[in-house]
Amino acid sequence: MSLDKRARFAHLTVLLAEWQELWRPLPFTHRDIPWPAPFHALARRLLLLGDAECARLQAEPFIDSPLADWLPVSALAELVTLTEIPAGEAAGEREEGLPAAWSVHIGGRKWQQIVSFVPRVTLGPEQQLMEWCAGKGHLARTLARRHNVDVTALEWQAGLCDAGTRLAERQGAAVRLVRQDVMAEGAVEWLSSTTHVAALHACGDLHERLIELSAEHGSALTLAPCCYHRTVDERYRPLSCLGRQLAETHELVLEREDLAMAVQETVTAPRHVRQHREAANAWRLGFDALQRDVQGVDAYLPVPSLAYGQHTETFADFCRWASVQKGIDLPSRVDWCAYEQEGQRRQAEVTRLELVRQLFRRPLEIWLVLDRALRLEEAGFSVELGTFCPRKLTPRNLLLRASRC
């Protein structure tokens, strides 16, 4: 890294804290501009953006940003510098050297991520390989064949263990899938100073648990973290001592919903998926306007997501379903067209105001990963932070490699 981890972390803390009144509020939950009065002119500027310019800024938030007129140029330039993370070095053969036949039963994008991740797993002498939160063990099978070693894979769902075991037997991969809840006390029995744990996109508390156990028992790890908001805690407590110190000094307070911002990038989602998501959000905003009027309470009301594969045919059907979920009695006559149009209007508005949060999305994610890196360094580990694949393959491309010094 061109910047020392501690210095990068400290600079990010200052900037995130200084501008948190802009990036922490959720435009989706506010009918009015959610920022202090001095920034209302910024909101008006963003609301004038055309669809094409808005889409460009979603993909490239640091290039020709309208925020440059409101934030000091030095702050934007510093954000760019602080988010530049080099690619992690691959060990051994080139990434594309993995046989295509190994990709059988693995989704195309998942396989491409594994192809990029696996060469970054450097196995030391006498180390035993393990996959953390393995699912069907796709990564474990690839690691076993690449390193020609036995791999233990921990997974808590029995069905996935069984399916993964059948795949490993069919393909002749030396993988043992073990049913283990990694959050349970028994998980500690699998880690030691000779264990090297690999985890590709382990979520929230699951990868935090791995970091804490590794710090305690000296296990090496290669980790691509993900979904920082998937945690039982309402408020984030930094893992590192430095993180807790800096957060307190600069009054940086992160709630669970703030952590979700770090993984909301949709750059890899197919166009039809993005369009479906936008339409669904417009319906939610339309229902939100309706429920505020019906209940006479001008406050956002969260609605649960429809189960996978379920959908409603019309906006009116969605509102009726949502009202049942929240125990709201709708009037017999509703101007469904007007509320649907209001939802579409609000969706366009929210999309533009969210550009501010998107500018701080990557800095927040790097701050969170640096906190994890520093926790391990404080425990006596040597830690590398890099990327393992291009952003177009997955925005969650940050990689930690750590081993005790």
Q: In the block, which residue shows the tokens 């305690």?
A: 216
How does the average pLDDT of the chain come out, rounded? 91
Q: Does the structure show a pLDDT above 70 at 308? A: no
Averaged pLDDT, 323-344: 96
Residue 382 lies in a domain: yes
The residue type found at 58 is Q
Residue 243 CA, distance from chain mean position: 19
Q: Does the structure show a pLDDT above 50 at 90? A: yes
Position 63 scores a pLDDT of 83
- Domain count along the chain: 1
Residue 83 lies in a domain: no
Q: How far is CA 293 from CA 28, 285, 288, 307, 365, in A?
A: 17, 13, 9, 27, 37
Q: Which of 8-12, 70-74, 331-335 has the lowest mean pLDDT?
A: 70-74
What is the edge-to-edge ordering of all strands in the sheet holding 381-387? 175-179, 151-155, 128-132, 195-203, 220-226, 398-404, 381-387
How far is Cα 61 from Cα 66, in angstroms, rounded to an integer? 10
Residue 277 lies in a domain: no
Averaged pLDDT, 132-136: 97
pLDDT over 70 for what percent of the chain? Answer: 94
CATH of the domain at 391: 3.40.50.150
The token pair at 98 is 């993995």
Residue 71 lies in a domain: no
Averaged pLDDT, 55-76: 78
Q: Does the structure show a pLDDT above 90 at 30? A: yes
Position 93 scores a pLDDT of 45
Q: What is the pTM of this model?
A: 0.92
What range does the domain containing 199 cover? 95-240+372-404
Residue 218 lies in a domain: yes
Position 1 scores a pLDDT of 43
Give the model's confidence band at 64: pLDDT under 50 very low, under 70 low, under 90 confident, else very high: confident
Averaged pLDDT, 141-156: 96
pLDDT digits (tens, 9 = 90+) for 355-390: 999 889 999 999 999 999 999 999 999 999 999 999
Position 268 scores a pLDDT of 55
Q: Does the structure show a pLDDT above 70 at 255? A: yes
pLDDT digits (tens, 9 = 90+) for 203-231: 999 999 999 999 999 999 999 999 999 99
Q: Does the structure show a pLDDT above 60 at 161? A: yes
Q: Does the structure show a pLDDT above 80 at 192? A: yes
All residues at 6 or more sequence positions from 398 whose CB lies less than 8 Å from its CB, including other chains: 85, 224, 225, 365, 366, 369, 385, 386, 387, 388
Residue 390 lies in a domain: yes
Q: Does the structure show a pLDDT above 70 at 44? A: yes
Residue 288 lies in a domain: no
**66 vs 402, more confident:** 402
pLDDT digits (tens, 9 = 90+) for 285-298: 999 999 999 999 99
Query: Between β-strands 151-155 and 175-179, what pairing exists: parallel, antiparallel or unpaired?
Result: parallel
Residue 380 lies in a domain: yes
Contact 176, 200 (CB under 8 A): no
